[in-house]
């Protein structure tokens, strides 16, 4: 099931629009300071990379993040349905997560290293 089908389209659009607006606001109002309350490196990196992205790349990035947010909202909404339905929702979510993890690992293997030759058995 597509993440967009888990929630009403209006909610999905709202999540996406708020993501873009929030990151734009953060990038515009971010002050990199070296004081004691300095922002973590991850925030600094996010802001600098966000500023360098094109509009299309920003949309793609927020689309990926919004899809994850939609899945979390849908999963949390399914929890109070009861034990039986909750187990079904958890099982389905686990299956989706497992598939995504498998795709990511496979892509990393293909991009990173070539497969090693099979090891010979010792006699």
Kindly report, residue by residue over 71-80, the tens digit of the pLDDT: 887 777 666 6
Element (H, E) at 18: helix 9-29
The candidate with the shortest Cα–Cα distance to 3, out of 86, 61, 69, is 69
Whether 85 and 18 have beta carbons less than 8 Å apart is answered as no
Kindly report, residue by residue over 11-65, the tens digit of the pLDDT: 788 888 888 888 888 888 887 654 545 567 788 888 889 899 998 998 898 888 8
**What whole-number distance in Å separates Cα of residue 40 and Cα of residue 89?**
35
* Spans of all domains in the chain: 3-81, 83-112
What residue spans of 1-123 are helical by DSSP H? 9-29, 41-52, 55-78, 83-111
Whether 62 and 20 have beta carbons less than 8 Å apart is answered as yes
pTM of the model: 0.50
């Amino acid at each position: 099931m597509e993440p967009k089908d888990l929630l009403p389209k209006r909610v999905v659009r709202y999540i996406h629009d708020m993501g873009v607006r929030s990151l734009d606001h953060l990038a515009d109002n971010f002050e990199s300071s070296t004081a004691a309350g300095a922002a973590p490196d991850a925030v600094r990196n996010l802001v600098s990379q966000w500023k360098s992205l094109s509009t299309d790349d920003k949309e793609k990035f927020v689309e990926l993040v919004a899809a994850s947010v939609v899945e979390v909202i849908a999963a949390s909404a399914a929890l109070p349905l009861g034990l039986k339905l909750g187990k079904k929702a958890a099982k389905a979510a686990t299956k989706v997560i497992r598939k995504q993890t498998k795709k990511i690992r496979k892509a990393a293997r293909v991009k990173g290293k070539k497969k090693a030759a099979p090891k010979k058995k010792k006699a």
